[in-house]
Structure 1
Amino acid sequence: MGIILASASPRRSEILENLKIPFQKRTSSIDESNYKMDNPLELVKILAYEKARSVRLPQDEDLLIIGADTIVVLGQTILGKPKNAEEATTYLKLLSGKAHSVYTGLAMIKSRDEALFLDYCETKVFMRSYRDEEIKAYIQTKEPMDKAGAYGIQGFGAALVEKIEGDYYNVVGLPISKLIEGFQFHGMDYFDSYHP
């Protein structure tokens, strides 16, 4: 069975590549701003599902389509991708010295019968107290601009993190533990797809 990743995220692609999972990439065209919800768990699951569904083509045969969406939640506030450097600065100041949750919704849909695995993963991230100068220098790297919460744990942003509780790959954007559950749900064994 072929695998489609419904994401433009280089980080999600890299995770699948590191797992030696062969896949093709299709970019979802959904407008995330059309989805407004107070419940972050429902939001990430719906966005993941809509992303996967949006790349499905009528001629697709026997494919597994993977959609994912990641958000950062501080208290009751959802922090998506910052629109500009000012918003990134605001997000990073809010996160400094505090714990927050990172949620990733994961949808895995079979193209043939539309069998659906839909779940989410939560990871707690504890940020150290960092200085305004560090925020400014970090924003100058441009790394925060395409990441939920305005930081990337797999890059320079790791210097802002004190510790995490949960799946590291969830914070990067694709929780491996849930991905394996989804493969098993669809009757696939991860090691069967391994091609060195």
Structure 2
Amino acid sequence: MQTDTSYRLVLASASPARRALLKAAGIDADTIVSGVDESTVEADDAHTLSLTLARLKARTVAARLPSDPGTLVLGCDSVLAFDGQILGKPANASEAVQRWRAMRGRSGILYTGHHLTDLVEGKQGEEVGTTIVHFADISDAEIDAYVTTEEPLHVAGSFTIDGRGGAFVDRIEGDASNVIGLSLPLLRRLLAGFGVSITRLWRD
């Protein structure tokens, strides 16, 4: 890419948390929902599943867009590996409660796949971020109250760290933004692989 190119980042995700994270980092991304049916995609492990879904989302959105110079499409997907299971979003409140009763006082690994594609030059880059999450040993009453808010129904692993769920995570090992759903350091590396500094995406 040329250094005088004006860049536009398109986020292939419906996640308000990812968009808010980018905005806080100075990147005002456009969002286009891919419409990919995640339930139809299977994989043997969380690493592969998160990356496959991120790739599908990015490529699906990229196929709808004109090939404008400087347009970059980013797909992301997060899943939690816990106790030999791959946990995406819970199907309902009952499942979220069951998960939390199993997870409390224990740890899991949050995987977030990232796939970046350049519409004009055809470059593609991808990587998976991993963060160890240590859950607090919370009570049944706290679990019920948390699930009642419906926050855990809309996120991978049935928890967040940037909302009410943050009080129920004792600590993490790794990148916090990865747990929110988009690793900013990882995005910087992917952009650098395209010869683009992340600072070129900053908005005033």
Aligned length: 196
2:172 is paired with a residue whose SS is: strand
Listed one character per residue, the Cα deviations across residues 18-58 of structure 1 (whole Å, up to 9, x for unaligned) are 11113211001111111111121111111101000011125
Listed one character per residue, the Cα deviations across residues 66-90 of structure 1 (whole Å, up to 9, x for unaligned) are 0000001103101110111101101
Given the two structures, how large is their TM-score scaled by the length of structure 2?
0.93
Is 1:60 the counterpart of 2:71? The answer is no
State the distance in 2 between where 1:163 and 1:21 align: 27
Q: 2:108 aligns with which of 100, 119, 133?
A: 100
Q: 2:35 aligns with which of 24, 29, 36?
A: 29
Deviation of residue 183 (structure 1)? Answer: 1.2
Given the two structures, how large is their TM-score scaled by the length of structure 1?
0.96
Amino acid across the alignment from 1:186 = F
1:55 is paired with a residue whose SS is: helix
Is 1:83 the counterpart of 2:105? The answer is no
Amino acid across the alignment from 1:100 = G
Q: Which runs of 5+ in 2 are unaligned?
A: 1-6
Listed one character per residue, the Cα deviations across residues 149-179 of structure 1 (whole Å, up to 9, x for unaligned) are 1111111101111110000011100011101
Instruction: Report sequence identity in percent.
Output: 33
Q: 1:13 aligns with which of 12, 19, 29?
A: 19
Q: 2:78 aligns with which of 49, 67, 70?
A: 70
Is 1:51 the counterpart of 2:54? The answer is no
Q: Which moved more, 1:64-73 or 1:184-193?
A: 184-193
Query: Match of 2:161?
Result: 153
Is 1:165 the counterpart of 2:165? The answer is no
Q: Which runs of 5+ in 1 are unaligned?
A: none
State the distance in 2 between where 1:189 and 1:58 align: 23
Is 1:188 the counterpart of 2:191? The answer is no
Q: Which moved more, 1:46-55 or 1:14-23?
A: 14-23
State the distance in 2 between where 1:27 and 1:60 align: 18
Deviation of residue 135 (structure 1)? Answer: 0.3
Query: Match of 2:144?
Result: 136
Q: Which portions of structure 1, spanning 4 or more consecutive aligned residues, are displaced by more than 6 angstroms? A: none
